[in-house]
Amino acid sequence: MTEEWLEEVDEHDRVIGRHPRSEIHRRGLRHRSVHIFLFDRAGQLFLQKRSMRKDVHPGYWDTSAAGHVDPGETYEVSAAREVTEELGIDPVPSLEFLFKVGASAATGWEFIQVYRAIHGGPFLLNSEEIDEGRWFDPDEVDRWHSAGGDGLTVTFRELWRRFRTLG
């Protein structure tokens, strides 16, 4: 399998080069990703448990869907692609842009755009990416987060904190 290539971006999120994913991560270069919070109509949040085969945070719980922005791709197109690739949803529900987070050590040097969508399933989980998924009450996630967030990815904890401040 060929290695994924990603765009390196500067501190203003402007593309300045392309490198293999492994080099981007090894050198701590700024790049782009998306995260999607998927809720059902009752307000439950779907979280995925990352595959144990993942090189970053294997076995940790994370946003409903997430991934790198491919070269030449917009954040919004990437978000729709990730929902289809990871959760098997097609057509993709309407994605609502929520906020953008700047690249930092806490985000793995990723600029992250975060989206929300409503979809109650069913899902066809990508077994290369996800070991399991389930619905959580947001209050349960709040308690988990407040108790230290053991088992949640660092990025999810930061995105959830910001999401909950939106009101």
Q: Quick check: is 158 in a domain?
A: yes
CATH for 145: 3.90.79.10
Least Cα distance to 104 among 22, 28, 14 occurs for 28
Task: Using alpha carbons, list the distances in angstroms from residue 45 to 13, 28, 88, 149, 157.
Answer: 29, 31, 17, 16, 14
Q: Which domain holds residue 139?
A: 34-97+115-164
Residue 11: inside a domain: no
Position of tokens 């995260």?
35
The string over 49-84, giving b where at least 16 C-beta atoms fall within 10 Å of a residue's C-beta and e elsewhere, is: bbbeeeeebeebbbbbbbbbbeeebebeebbbbbbe
Asked if residue 3 is part of any domain, the answer here is: no
State the maximum Cα–Cα separation within the chain, in Å, rounded to a whole number.
Answer: 43
Number of C-beta neighbours around residue 94 at 10 A: 11
Say which residues have a Cβ less than 8 Å from residue 129's Cβ, sequence separation at least 6.
48, 50, 51, 54, 85, 86
Per residue in 137-167, pLDDT (tens digit) is: 999 999 999 999 999 999 999 999 999 998 6
In a domain, 160, yes or no: yes
As for how many domains the chain has, the answer is: 1
User: CA-CA distance, 127 to 31, in Å (whole number)?
Assistant: 25
Q: Is residue 17 part of a domain?
A: no
Residue 119 belongs to some domain of the structure: yes
Using only the alpha carbons of the chain, give its radius of gyration.
15
- Segment 41-91, tens digit of pLDDT: 999 999 999 999 988 889 999 999 999 999 999 999 999 999 999 999 998
Does some domain include residue 13? no
Residue 54 is assigned to a structural domain of this protein: yes
What confidence tens digit (pLDDT) does each residue in 79-109 have? Answer: 999 999 999 999 889 999 999 999 998 889 9
